Amino acid sequence: MASRIRQPKTTGTYVRRGLVIAYLFLLVVWPVSLVVQHTFSGGLDNLQTALSDPDVVFALQLTVYVAVWAVVINTIFGVGVSLLLVRYDFPGRGILSALIDLPLSVSPIVVGLALLLAYGGNNGLLGPTLQDAGLQVAFAPLGIIMATAFVSLPLVIRELVPVLQEIGTDQEQAARSLGAGPWQTFRRITLPSVKWALLYGVVLSLARSLGEFGAVKIMSGNIAGQTQTATLSVEEKYQDFQQGTAYATSFLLALIAVAALVVVSVLRPKENPDGD
């Protein structure tokens, strides 16, 4: 753990530092700052134009609505599954643990295809039955929520599982032996010790949910003013030569996602106490 020992600085140190900074500047910093610059090139005009376009406003509202639902579902599911994976023994636990990561390595387009095959209105496996029961999944908000929940499914679990393993069960057992019920133990003992990991997982899910594009493109039908989310609107506006609006919408989306991530990673205490 004593890896922060100051090593003598050689020419190599500065060469490596310079290389890394130049690489990140050219790949990330400069391009991102150009988009910010484009957004504000005419003062606040671009933002005003975007926010007075009813389709864009609708798309932003739909995105927030979908993202909030997806994050809520994934948080409840994520906390439950993490506790089950770490604290309980059941047949198939190893398989479940491996399968949970699956959504991260599947292409968003394949996610869209998979959901369409299951819930498509005409020839999906379950789609027609659900439609007869009055439940429209594909090309409706429910389908968009499912696509979004799919792609961000493992993010909360990946943050929670290592922390839950690290803290062990001593305190929980003590609480239980002193008469606390399962809910009280969870709320008073478990939750406070995993709160930063949980918050970070939630923020990652939120960023991923706000930004989902491919899977939503297939499952939503992409109709402006009805099922078009913000990322889909960026594509349409850009190709429609309304670049100012595309930049402004992008800026708003990126702002929420990056700001949330930065705030949490700055606030979150470092995990290893001697890590600087």
Partner 1 sequence: MTTEIPLAPGAARRRRTRSATSLTRSSGLGLGIALTWFSLLVLIPLALVVIQSADDGWGTFRDTLTNSQTAAALRLTVEQALIVTVVNVVFGTLIAWVLVRDSFRGQRLLEVIIDIPFALPTIVAGLVLLSLYGPDSPIGINVANTERSVFLALLFVTLPFVVRTVEPVLLELDPEVEEAAASLGASRFTTLRRILLPALAPAITAGAALSFARGISEYGSLVLLSGNLPNKTEVASVRILTYIENGNEAAAASVAVLLLGVALIAIILLQVLTKVVSKRG
- Considering only residues 179-208, where is the footprint of partner 1 by CB under 8 A? 182, 204, 207-208
- What span, in angstroms and rounded, lies between the C-alpha atoms of 128 and 118? 10
Q: Which of residues 221-260 bind partner 1 (CB under 8 A)?
A: 231, 234-235, 238-239, 246-247, 250, 253-254, 257-258, 260
Which CB atom, from 58 or from 257, has the smaller least distance to partner 1? 257
Q: Sign of the CA dihedral 165, 199, 208, 138?
A: positive
Nearest-approach distance from CB 114 to partner 1, in angstroms:
4
Segment interacting with partner 1, rule: CB under 8 A, options 41-49, 51-59, 83-91, 185-193: 83-91
The backbone torsions φ and ψ at residue 191, rounded to the nearest 5 degrees and listed phi first, read -55, -50
On whether the CB atoms of residues 253 and 206 are closer than 8 A, the answer is: no
Q: Which of residues 127-166 bind partner 1 (CB under 8 A)?
A: 146, 149-150, 153, 155, 158-159, 161-162, 165-166
- With the CA atoms of 228, 232, 233 and 236 taken in that order, what torsion angle do they form, in degrees rounded to the nearest 10? -120
Nearest-approach distance from CB 78 to partner 1, in angstroms:
10
CA atoms within 13 A on the CB side of 233: 31
Of 257, 239, 254, 223, nearest in space to 55 by CA: 223
The answer to the question of residue 30 lying near partner 1 (CB under 8 A) is: yes
The answer to the question of residue 104 lying near partner 1 (CB under 8 A) is: yes
The answer to the question of residue 118 lying near partner 1 (CB under 8 A) is: yes
